[in-house]
């Protein structure tokens, strides 16, 4: 698959910030969550539909996460145009972003991982609702959010649910059967942010917390009253952490 086949939405000008969404959605969720936090005059925000989701195809040639990584690395090398990029990922996107930073650290100015999917063997905590009576919305919403308010249900309907019909399920199953990403936990030496939800019943949080001992310049936060939908549920906290991360990136640059 050629990198040019990826569907991309860009906002602004400046240093590229490549934002990678999770599995089963498309760029609209990451755009809704991260655009308010990254909307700065010196940043070009780049929201990618990952292969097999949104408007990005996933041909038969993509058969493992490593294959997806190769496409994304080609994309980043073209996107940076001589400048170092920032990588931001949520869930599956964070898994990919971490592996990308391991493979091309010289092109990555900073790495931010939110609710990262990791191969850790961790048993995630049981799902627990912290706000709401647990009967709002549909089952997918109730399994994703721990803060179940009308506002969160509206965000889910606008930014998450519409992507479900665009997912290439066969491609996702094919790619997911072959986990060969050996560099996923290789240290990245640049400014790093890791944020996890204490109540994340999808990927858990202990694997993310352990990244404090992997990446030498990592700030790690485990946030209570937040699950896998942390970017929706705790935007103020996430925004403060990302602002601090961007300050560290600017200082390092």
In a domain, 202, yes or no: yes
- How many domains does the chain contain in total? 1
In a domain, 133, yes or no: no
Q: Which domain holds residue 184?
A: 3-125+166-252
pLDDT digits (tens, 9 = 90+) for 45-56: 999 999 999 999
pLDDT given at position 119: 77
> What is the Cβ-side half-sphere exposure of residue 13, based on CA atoms within 13 angstroms?
0
In a domain, 159, yes or no: no
pLDDT confidence bin for 79, thresholds 50/70/90: confident
For residue 180, pLDDT over 70 is answered with: no
Q: For residue 171, what is the domain's CATH number?
A: 3.40.50.1820
- The token duo for 166 is 């665009």
In a domain, 205, yes or no: yes
Question: How far is the C-alpha of 110 from the C-alpha of 250, rounded, in Å?
Answer: 9
Interacting residues of 180 by C-beta distance below 8 A, sequence separation 6+: 64, 65, 66
- Total residue count of the chain as it appears in this document: 253
Give ∠ CA 7-10-16 in degrees, rounded to 5: 110
pLDDT given at position 1: 87
Question: How far is the C-alpha of 220 from the C-alpha of 11, rounded, in Å?
Answer: 28
For 234, list phi and psi in degrees, rounded to 5: -130, 60
């Amino acid at each position: 698959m050629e990198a040019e086949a990826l569907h991309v939405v860009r906002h602004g000008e400046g240093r590229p910030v490549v934002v990678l969404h999770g599995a089963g959605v498309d760029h609209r969720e990451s755009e809704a969550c991260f655009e308010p936090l990254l909307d700065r005059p010196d940043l070009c925000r780049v929201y990618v539909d990952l292969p097999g989701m949104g408007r990005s195809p996933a041909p038969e040639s993509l058969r493992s996460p490593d294959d997806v990584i190769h496409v994304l690395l080609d994309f980043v090398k073209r996107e940076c145009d001589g400048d170092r990029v920032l990588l931001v990922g949520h869930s599956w996107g964070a898994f990919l972003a971490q592996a990308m930073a391991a493979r091309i650290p010289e092109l990555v100015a900073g790495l931010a991982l939110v609710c990262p999917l990791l191969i850790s063997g961790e048993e995630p905590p049981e799902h627990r609702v912290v706000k709401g009576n647990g009967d709002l919305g549909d089952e997918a919403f109730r399994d994703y959010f721990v803060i179940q308010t009308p506002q969160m249900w509206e965000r889910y309907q606008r930014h998450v649910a519409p992507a479900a019909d665009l997912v290439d399920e066969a491609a996702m199953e094919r790619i997911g059967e072959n986990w060969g990403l050996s560099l996923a936990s290789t240290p990245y030496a640049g400014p790093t942010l890791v944020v996890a939800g204490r109540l994340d019943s999808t990927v858990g949080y202990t694997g993310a917390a352990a990244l404090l001992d992997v990446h030498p310049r990592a700030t790690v936060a485990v946030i209570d009253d937040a699950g896998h939908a942390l970017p929706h549920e705790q935007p103020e906290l996430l925004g403060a952490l990302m602002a601090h991360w961007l300050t560290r990136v600017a200082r390092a640059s």
